[in-house]
Structure 1
Amino acid sequence: METALHSFFVSIPQAAALWLVILLAIAVAAVYVALPRSAPPRPLTEAERDKLRFADEVAVAAERAAATAARLRAEWATAQEQVDAAWLAFDEADRRSRETTQAAAFPLMSRRRKPGENADRQRYLHHAAIAACRNREISMAQLNDVLAHRGWNPRLHPVVQEGLLRNAIRAHRMSQYEDAQKREQAAWVESELAADALRSLRAEAAAAIVRSATAEEPAGDEWFADQWATGEMPATKAYA
């Protein structure tokens, strides 16, 4: 009798462990059966393939437009730097011209000229004008006027000639500054047009992907976020 009871109590843990294994197997089978079954992919129709093909083409066009927009924005930034440099050059020329004007307030002593002095003054004017043109301080047209004595008197005192030459440099720097402003404005207009084209293409690319939703999408949420990135978009600028 004691042996039978002993065998019974010893077999209880084994039976419990067996039941636990059976219950665990049943639970695993139930979870596996409850899992959703994905239907096998169906072949794409011709219309769906056309939608995907169009979405890929628009995406490629958007990438090219992004490269163009980035290039034009870099050109605009370069044009802005040229405007700043042209203004600094004009400001320096204006300062030197005003210094010469102030010095010209003191009259020169009049005396009889030595023989050949007029030739020396003309030579000085020509050399100073050539040097200024070589340094790109005056234009070739201005140099030609100096050499041809159009609006220039080669017999004036070198101090007076220096003042007139600095005025010519100032006028040339102002002309360069105005030209740089025009180039900068034109570069900004082209950059804005490229940015508008890029935004339109990206909107069209996103719409094309939505229309081809039944087919495999070429990219996920990160792609959509990148399409609206404004890193290469130029800042809005208005001109009067």
Structure 2
Amino acid sequence: MSMQTSPRQAASATPHLPDGEGERFTGFGVMAVPFASGHVLALRVWARTTIGAPYRSVWHRDPSGSWHMYVTAAPERSCPRYFSAAASFERVAGIDVEWSDAAALRVRIPSVLDWTVHLEATPATKAMSAIAQMIPANAKRSDAVLGAMGPMSRPVLRTGRMRMVGAAPNRQRFQVVPERVWRVAASAATIEGASLGTTHPLDRQTRLGDFWMPQRGVFYVGDARFEAFDPTRHDAPRVATA
């Protein structure tokens, strides 16, 4: 894939599930966008998975620090499978993701969310994308290789702490493998009609388990892997309590 490919082209390309064991995903999304109001939004659009049908998910963190996930699939076949120990969730009929041009998308959940995201390539994102695409496929399954990518990304992308390997709140180990990244140049959102305000790093960076939400918006196309569910070691999907 050419390094000049637009975000829309990269996100629309026919994806292939990564090789390996465990529970695997491929698609695109927004790692996270923090707002000055204390809200955080994230998007996952998994075009293929090994645990069920493709699905979409929006993650929302409110200023009090509580996380809520909107998903288009059953919780045992979507993000709550891994994150419900730290986030409440609900299944919704649909999450509309529409590209308004090659580098801008709009995400909508009827009566809940209206979110626009404008993307841009920078020297830093081009460099990180080039490095990611040069890594051999077998190395992308290595905790050591992926573990080094997080600290390397921090000063380049100015995201704050990032981890590509670790444990999700429900205790499964994960690997995040971004193939291409772009910076979120601008974003605006309303939840139930109320504006979330301007984008801005949080006073204190937030996370779900070992997955740290970047302090600056990042869009990615890539893969994720999770340890296969084991009821003797992992928490089943459930609504988190306060």
TM-score after normalising by structure 2: 0.16
Structure number, greater radius of gyration: 1
TM-score after normalising by structure 1: 0.16
Which has a greater percent of helix?
1
